[in-house]
Amino acid sequence: MDIRLENTQNELIRILTILSAKKEEQSSYLKKIGTYPSCEELALEYYDIYIVVSFKTNPLNLSNDSLEQLKIINDVLDKISGPENEKFWIVDFLENEPWNEIRSLAEEVLLNLKT
């Protein structure tokens, strides 16, 4: 695997690891990067890597299941975007839906990547 693909895969794993983490770990991460109590950066980081890995050529050769799960994560994040949904973008909501669904999907993709 060339270094760019390896870096892309590492970034995908990093972001999915954060998305699959418990609220406390996600909160610590957000404090570390200086965006706490907003969790919008989680979605922004995800979207940046999602665009790369979901490109038509599927550069990481992900399974169809993984691609579908990544798309669902993106769709869920899109659904809660916008000013009318701002309550979802503070850390207090990381324990609730839709964040629990995102967490579960991220865990599944990570498991698929490791097999």
- pLDDT score recorded for residue 16: 98
- pLDDT score recorded for residue 2: 84
Task: Give the closest residue to 30 by CA, choosing from 93, 108, 106, 100.
Answer: 93
CA distance 33 to 52: 22
What angle, rounded to 10 degrees, do the helices at 99-114 and 3-20 form?
A: 140
Burial of residue 43, with CB atoms counted within 10 A of its CB: 0-12 exposed, 13-18 middle, 19 or more buried: buried
| Segment 33-79, tens digit of pLDDT | 999 999 999 999 999 999 999 887 788 889 999 999 999 999 999 99
User: What is the reported pTM?
Assistant: 0.94
* Count of other CB atoms within 10 angstroms of residue 61: 10
Question: If you average pLDDT over every residue of the chain, what do you get?
Answer: 94
State the total domains in the chain: 1
Q: Which residues of 64-73 are buried (b: 16+ CB within 10 A; e: fewer)?
A: eebbebbeeb
User: Residue 31's domain spans which residues?
Assistant: 3-114
